[in-house]
Chains A and B, each alone.
Chain A
Amino acid sequence: LAKTTQPISMDSYEGQEVNITCSHNNIATNDYITWYQQFPSQGPRFIIQGYKTKVTNEVASLFIPADRKSSTLSLPRVSLSDTAVYYCLVGDLHTGGFKTIFGAGTRLFVKA
């Protein structure tokens, strides 16, 4: 199971773009990169998933370089409600990636 490293915390202001980078040097060929968001007293919520290059949905973008040893979650124009913990997971969810250690995640604080 690929280990991930991400910043413990980040601060931002409303309206700014926030980029959270995750390092995963030993990512395997079949591994996907999945990001979750968690608010206090709630379960993690799926944000975005990708394998390579760039993925975009209505919430975020995910940038993955060619070597796939890192990935960057980009949140455009954050608001106060984006204050949460963000987890980067790397694994093949079909064959056992669901056992991936979430780690402590990145605590994002958005200020007014």
Chain B
Amino acid sequence: DTGVSQDPRHKITKRGQNVTFRCDPISEHNRLYWYRQTLGQGPEFLTYFQNEAQLEKSRLLSDRFSAERPKGSFSTLEIQRTEQGDSAMYLCASSFGGNNSPLHFGNGTRLTVT
């Protein structure tokens, strides 16, 4: 089953450090999404790509956050100068992008900022 893959699964970093997460979507999916989830809450939308183009960003995505999807395949999410408030699960999802195609999520990267 070649589902959505995320790496690493866990990341512990010190405040002020930069971190980068990777997402490999389902190969035939042209849309890719990033979400953030904190304990006890549902996922919150951060940004999405249609192929290599980043089409929308949430207000939650501060200037310290940047996402890329070179060549429309895998994606990276970088957080610069991490803060303790960045501690969360970062989820990636992908979809066909057709009418109401459901999102397929990866198992996320758990970030802990100490």
Count chain B residues whose beta carbon lies closer than 8 angstroms to a beta carbon of A. Answer: 28
Question: In the complex where A49-B102, A94-B100 touch, is A44 in contact with B43 (Cβ < 8 A)?
Answer: yes
Secondary structure at the B interface, as helix, strand, loop or mixed, is loop
Q: Identify which of B14-22, B68-76, B77-85, B89-97 touches chain A.
A: B89-97
The tally of CB-CB contacts under 8 A between chains A and B is: 64
Q: Are A46 and B42 in contact (CB under 8 A)?
A: no
Q: Identify which of A11-19, A21-29, A98-106 touches chain B.
A: A98-106
Q: Are B108 and A43 in contact (CB under 8 A)?
A: yes
| Interface flag for A63 (CB, 8 Å) | no
| Interface flag for B45 (CB, 8 Å) | yes
| Interface flag for A69 (CB, 8 Å) | no
Q: Are B42 and A105 in contact (CB under 8 A)?
A: yes
Question: In the complex where A102-B42, A104-B42 touch, is A92 in contact with B100 (Cβ < 8 A)?
Answer: yes
Q: Mark A87-112, 1 if CB is under 8 A from B, else 0.
A: 10000111011111111110000000
Output the nearest chain B residue to A44 by Cβ-Cβ distance.
B105
Task: Return the contact of B103 from the options A32, A46, A105 (Cβ within 8 A).
Answer: A46
Q: Which A residues are in CB contact (< 8 Å) with B107? A: 41-43
Bound: A24/B103 CA distance, A: 20
Q: Are B97 and A94 in contact (CB under 8 A)?
A: yes
Output the nearest chain A residue to B48 by Cβ-Cβ distance.
A98
Chain B contact residues, CB within 8 Å of chain A = 4, 33, 40-45, 48, 56, 58, 91-93, 95, 97-108, 110
Chain A contact residues, CB within 8 Å of chain B = 32, 34, 36, 41-46, 49, 85, 87, 92-94, 96-105
